[in-house]
Chains A and B, each alone.
Chain A
Amino acid sequence: MSLRIVVTVKYVPDATGDRHFADDLTVDRDDVDGLLSELDEYAVEQALQISENSDDDVEVTVLTVGPEDAKDALRKALSMGADKAIHVEDDDLHGTDAIGTSLVLAKAVEKAGYDLVVSGMASTDGTMGVVPALLAERLGVPQVTLLSEVSVEDGVVKGRRDGDSATEQLEASLPAVVSVTDQSGEARYPSFKGIMAAKKKPVESWDLSDLDIDEDEVGLENAYTVVESAAERPARTAGTIVKDEGEGGKQLAEFLAGQKFI
């Protein structure tokens, strides 16, 4: 048997950089270094573990939708051990929202062929965390999301979801869409060998016409939401900082009492 896994990954501005908005109120990607979203590293890791623990013939493909630089994210995933990569890139994609992105991902996943899609729990820039659910809805396959433990056996995916009020064990038949959390297990570092091997791995490039998507289905103009304004949060006014000379706890209590918390 064979198992085709597609891992969706996003190239994001570094969260520790000075992230801001461009004039059109999209995320500015020029001034801050980009990288493979750390939360997607967990998805790559789980896909590789499923592959390593399987007797089947498993192929792990990483897929990204994003600008030219997004290739860096694919390279990182390939150097971790993924087999091949697909880069969907098109000028008309600029400013596409989550609903539009899920369309592009769904079409690309279908074109690539899949038994299992593995995503991260959210991106580290937009942080909506809705793309896996949207993808499942579009593909018409089960959504097995926010897993901190995942396994695949005999065409069934199982996992543990630490939900808002309970821990749930989930189960669904393949094909399915899975998302994994940062509790699922530390992602591996690419080895030197992995980095060298990645250079020879195939990266396919697709544009919207390859996916039969019209330009009026994506992009900023056709987004389902409008950002009307973005303002930097005023810096918090500098607080009082005291050094504990033996009375620090009492001084703090005095402050809290003044604020009516005690």
Chain B
Amino acid sequence: MAEVLVYVDHVDGAVRKPTLELLTLARRVGEPVAVALGNGAGDTAAALAEHGAVKVLTHEAAEYGDYLVVPKVDALQAAVAAVSPAAVLVPSSAEGKEIAARLALRLGSGIITDAVDLEAGDEGPVATQSVFAAAFTTKSRVSKGTPVITVKPNSAAVEAAPAAGAVEALSVTFSAAATGTKVTSRTPRESTGRPELTEAAIVVSGGRGVNGAENFAIIEALADSLGAAVGASRAAVDAGWYPHTNQVGQTGKSVSPQLYIASGISGAIQHRAGMQTSKTIVAINKDAEAPIFELVDYGVVGDLFDVVPQLTEEVKTRKG
């Protein structure tokens, strides 16, 4: 069977969940060969093997941390040359898309970004995308070169599928462009102890209706009672009430959880763009006419300062 390259998103060897989802999708199209780069690359092998990687190509070098994007493109290009894969799959993070784009250009290949599903097809993998703020679903395929496809988090289930996961050192020669953009400092995001926004099964978001940074405590309390991640609308972020890393929407994160709870969010098209593919949508808004109610499975017209704390208490009681 043809091999499929999977770019591994990991933090010092800890593989992030979207990569494991990619392995599930990769197995539909071929045999997954993972590519892990940078500090801790070798430590990824066990998790990758458990989820179906037949091989893990690794390369550690300071360049991956010291320079932006290009060293990783050089490495993936080397991996493509070594493996001649049927496709290359990359997680749809901001960086993942940039890596994928430059790789596609070098390979003379087409690129599809932000796929939410992937199937094998007669003429190569067929990717499903959700476009125009999720108003449409398209199916596309790459028609030239080795398909390069980026896939959004929560697009597939993580499945155990033990495979060999044999570690092989990848040989990489960096291009002249590799050291073009220097990363002069890096401040890792502080962990909140809550699930990663894009990976969470439940997301609880607050908007302008939350009316103040201090009031986000009630959104966080609900999130914690449900084991959820916290999101925010751009209005709440622009007001300085919550960090931009938690913004949901077109210019923030795109989430697709099992359950999305919007409180004090009107449901503007740019917000919908980031949450409309959520399985179950719930909203609390004091305006019965708010467009968010067009999307909901369950909505409560009311003041979030009454409804949210009551919900949190009830969740806690039920969970015992």
- Chain A residues with CB under 8 Å of chain B are 15-16, 19-21, 25, 39, 97-99, 102, 121-122, 124-125, 127-130, 132-134, 136-138, 140-146, 148, 158, 161-172, 176, 181-183, 223-233, 236, 239-244, 246-253, 255-257, 259, 261-262
Cβ–Cβ contact B301 & A138, under 8 A: no
Interface of A is mostly: mixed
Chain B residues with CB under 8 A of A231: 136-138
CB closest chain-A residue, reference B144: A224
Q: In this complex, what residue of B is CB-closest to A255? A: B298
Which residues of chain B have C-beta atoms less than 8 A from A39's C-beta? 251
Binding site for A on B (CB under 8 A): 11, 68-70, 73, 93-95, 97-98, 100-102, 104-106, 109-114, 126, 130-145, 177, 180-189, 202, 226, 234, 244-245, 250-251, 258-259, 269-270, 273, 280-282, 284, 288, 293-303, 306-315, 318-319
State which of A142, A224, A233, A248 has its C-beta within 8 Å of the C-beta of B181.
A142
Partner among A133, A136, A244 whose Cβ is within 8 Å of the Cβ of B300:
A244
Q: Which residues does chain A contribute within 8 Å of B182, judged by CB atoms?
A: 170-172
Asked if A227 meets B69 with Cβ closer than 8 Å, knowing A130-B98, A143-B180, A243-B288, the reply is: no
Q: Quick one: closest A residue to B318, CB to CB?
A: A262
Contact of A145 among B11, B98, B313 (CB under 8 A): B98
Q: Closest Cβ of chain A: how far from B174's Cβ, in Å? A: 14
Q: Name A99's contact: one of B105, B130, B300 (CB within 8 Å).
A: B105
Q: A residues within 8 A CB of B180?
A: 141-143, 172, 176
Known contacts A143-B69, A224-B110, A248-B307, A233 near B98 by CB under 8 Å: no
Q: Given A130-B113, A166-B189, A249-B314, answer yes or no on A242-B226 (Cβ-Cβ < 8 Å).
A: no
Most chain A CB inside 10 Å of its own CB: which residue of B70, B202, B300, B318: B300
**Beta-carbon contact of A170 and B181 below 8 Å:** yes
Nearest chain A residue, comparing its CB with the CB of B127 = A225
